């Protein structure tokens, strides 16, 4: 994201289970981009606990949430409420449409070229804002959506007969929900479907009935609503790009 600027940048991955307790500190002269996926209109529980270990010192931060074209609800505000007490100042935020992890038909091919162009423009504007400012204030991210309750996850992946027992799903799981690759994940599963994505044998799945139900429900939201576009906040108002 910052490759086009003449600045040093580092990427930190909070996803691996072994990184769950690592604390990172940032200074006032650094700019942090924090990106998360949206789960049911909320910040994922596992992500929240790890984000709380990030420590700023009046550090400007840009919040980015990716969502599968249903709605990101108030995820950006929730994320702001997590980072601000830890010494960060939210100077910008973005909600970017991406292919849905349950139903790939939803937002297939997103982010597309239009999204990427808008993201590039937004990134430049956020960086310019940092360069031109002598001090920062938290922006107000406004939305009309209410905070959805965190539901109990009923979609829990399991291995099938194609499983070669390579253990990659075990290593990739961000919450260590898989003890045996050939069996169902435990109830600590956060249904990120990372195990399904990375399985080289395509041996991770969940029941066909749940697949059909999830697809029907999620497609009904998409078919009865407008086509969602990525949204950007640089000040206290929504940017049109």
Spans of all domains in the chain? 17-146+227-239, 158-205
The confidence score (pLDDT) of residue 1 equals 53
Alpha helices, DSSP H, located in the chain = 45-51, 75-83, 113-132, 168-172, 194-198, 208-223
Residue 3 has pLDDT above 60, yes or no: no
- Is the predicted pLDDT of residue 42 greater than 50, yes or no? yes
Mean of the per-residue pLDDT values of the chain = 84
pLDDT reported for residue 238: 67
Better-scored residue on pLDDT, 97 or 69: 97
Output the CA–CA distances (angstroms, integers) from residue 33 to 78, 114, 235, in the order listed: 16, 21, 16
12-22: pLDDT as tens digits: 999 999 999 99
List of residues 6+ apart from 178 with CB closer than 8 A: 169, 170, 185, 186, 195
Predicted local distance difference test score (pLDDT) of residue 224: 46
**Residue 171's closest CA among 65, 60, 15?**
15
Residue 68 pLDDT level (bands cut at 50, 70, 90): confident
Over residues 106-155, the pLDDT tens digits come to 767 888 898 899 999 999 999 999 888 878 899 988 776 666 666 665 67
Distances (CA, A) of 85 to 14, 31, 172, 216: 19, 17, 30, 40
Q: Partners of 158 in the beta sheet?
A: 205
How far apart are alpha carbons 13 and 20 in whole angstroms?
A: 10
Rounded Cα gap, residues 193 and 211, in angstroms: 12
Q: Report the pLDDT averaged over residues 35-53.
A: 91
Residue 192, pLDDT score? 87
The CATH number assigned to the domain with range 17-146+227-239 reads 3.40.50
pLDDT tens digits, one per residue of 212-226: 666 665 555 555 445
Q: Please give the pLDDT value at position 152.
A: 61
Res 240: pLDDT: 59
Task: Kindly tell me if the per-residue pLDDT of 241 is higher than 90.
Answer: no
Fold of 158-205: Alpha-Beta Plaits (3.30.70)
In the prediction, which pLDDT does 2 show?
54
Q: What is the mean pLDDT of residues 38-54?
A: 91
Higher pLDDT, 77 or 238: 77
Residue 204 pLDDT more than 80? Answer: yes
Question: What is residue 79's predicted lDDT score, i.e. its pLDDT?
Answer: 94
């Amino acid at each position: 994201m910052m490759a086009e600027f003449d600045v040093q940048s580092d990427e930190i991955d909070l996803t691996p289970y072994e990184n769950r307790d690592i604390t990172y500190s940032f200074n006032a002269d650094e700019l942090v981009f924090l990106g998360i996926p949206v789960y049911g209109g909320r910040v994922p529980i596992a992500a929240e606990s790890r984000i709380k270990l990030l420590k700023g010192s009046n550090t400007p931060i840009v919040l980015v949430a990716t969502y599968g074209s249903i709605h990101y609800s108030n995820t950006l505000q929730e994320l702001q409420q997590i980072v601000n007490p830890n010494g960060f100042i939210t100077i910008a935020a973005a909600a970017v449409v991406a292919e849905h992890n349950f139903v790939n038909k939803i937002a297939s091919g997103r982010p597309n070229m239009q999204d990427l162009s808008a993201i590039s423009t937004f990134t430049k504007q956020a960086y310019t804002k940092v360069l031109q400012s002598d001090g920062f204030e938290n922006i107000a991210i406004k939305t009309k959506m209410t905070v959805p309750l965190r539901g109990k996850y009923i979609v829990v992946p399991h291995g099938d007969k194609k499983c070669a027992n390579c253990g990659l799903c075990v290593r990739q799981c961000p919450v260590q929900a898989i003890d045996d690759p050939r069996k169902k994940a435990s109830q600590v599963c956060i249904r990120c479907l990372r195990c399904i994505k990375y399985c080289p044998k395509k041996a991770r799945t969940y029941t066909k009935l749940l697949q059909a139900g999830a697809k029907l429900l999620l497609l009904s939201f998409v078919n009865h609503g407008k086509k969602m576009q990525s949204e950007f906040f640089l000040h206290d108002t929504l940017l049109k790009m």
